[in-house]
Structure 1
Amino acid sequence: MTPFTVGVSCDDVAECVGDHLDAPLTYDAATGQMGLELSQDAGNLLSVRPDGGLFVPTAGASAGLIAGQAIAITGSQGAGYTIAARISADAGNSLRLGTDGGLFVHVPPALQNVETFSFTNVTSFTRNITFTTPFAAPPHVTVNINSGAGPTARWGARAINVSTTGFTIFLFSGALGETGTWASVPVSWRATGL
C-alpha cells in the first residue's frame, strides 16, 4: 500500500488561520500579513509604535495611531509557529505582559492626603508620614502648602527622607531667621510609585 503525502504550504496555513481570526486580529489575503485593528473609540490610548510594538502612554499623555506591525510571528513550518503581540520597548510605555501571559496597562500606585499644621513661632517644622500601604520602591513625593496668603506666604514645603514606608514633610521659612505661626493650615501630599 502506498502512503499518501499531503503538501501544505505556509500560504495555505496563513490563509486558513486568517479566515478564522476574530477582531481585533486581521488578515490581508493580498499580502498574507496578519495585523491588529486598533479601536477608534474616543479615549483609546493604545497605539502601534514605529518599532512595531503595542504602546500605551503613561497617564496624562496623548497617543495617536502610528502605522506598524504589532504581531510577532516566530517559528518554522516544521517546528510550528507562535503568534504573539509585540510590546513596544519605547520609554514611557505602560503596557505590560502579565504573569498569566495577558496584556495589562500598568498604573503606578499612588497615595495622597491633606495634613493640617499648627505651630507657634518657629523657622521650620517637620512631621513624619507613614504610608497606609508600603511601596515596592521609594515613590516620588510632592508636597504643597494649600494656602499662599497670610502667615504661609513666605514658606516652602518639601518631602525629605523618602522611603518605601513613609517620608517627612519639611516646612521652612523663606526668610532667613523669620519665624511663623500657623493655625490649622492644610498641606497636601501625593506619593506616586514608579
Structure 2
Amino acid sequence: MLKIALHLHSNRYGLMAQSTSAEYDYSMKLLLIGDSGVGKSQLLHRFSDRSFIPGCRATIGIDFKNKNIELDGKRIKLQVWDTAGPERFRTITTGKPRILFAFVYDITDERSFNNIRIWFSNVEQHASEGVNKILIGSSCDLFEKRVITKEQGQALADEFGIKFFETSAKENINVEEAFFTLA
C-alpha cells in the first residue's frame, strides 16, 4: 500500500470527515472539475483502476469511483467524482464527506484553460471556505500539440494560491501525485 507523508497538512486543516465505519478512518470526496473532453474520466480511471481507456466517451451526468488509500497510517475512503457540468454542482458540494477540488484543463486546448477561471469562480461561490483545491493540466504526453505552457499553468495556479501538476493518464504521469497532494 502506498504511504504518503502528508499528515501535518491533512490533519492541521481538518480536511477529513471522521468515519464510524471499521473499514476506513476518514472519508473524502474529490471532484474533478473542468470542460467536457479535457480528460477527467481518463484521470478517474487511471487513479481508481490503474487503467487507460483509449477513446473514452464524455461523461453524461456524474460518474464516481471509490478508492481506499492509506495516508499517514490512516485508512481513507476517497470518492473521486467526474462531473460533466455545473448543473449538478451545488448538490454534490455540500455535506459530508469533506470535499476536495481538482480543476482540470487540457494542455492542447486553450479554451479549456481559459474556462478554468469560470469553474474556479463557481466553486468559490458554492463551496465551503478553505477547501483544498489543485490545478491539473492533462495530456502532458501530447507535447507536440501543446498550446498551454507549463509556465502558464503554474502562473494560474499561483494566482489562485493552489498547487499545480501536469498529468498524463495515458502514460501515468503525476496522476497519483496530484490526487495524494489533495488528500
When the two structures are superposed, what TM-score results if normalisation uses the length of structure 2? 0.27
Task: Select the structure that is richer in strand.
Answer: 1
Which structure's CA Rg is the greater one?
A: 1
Q: Which has the higher contact order (CA 8 A, sep 6+)?
A: 2
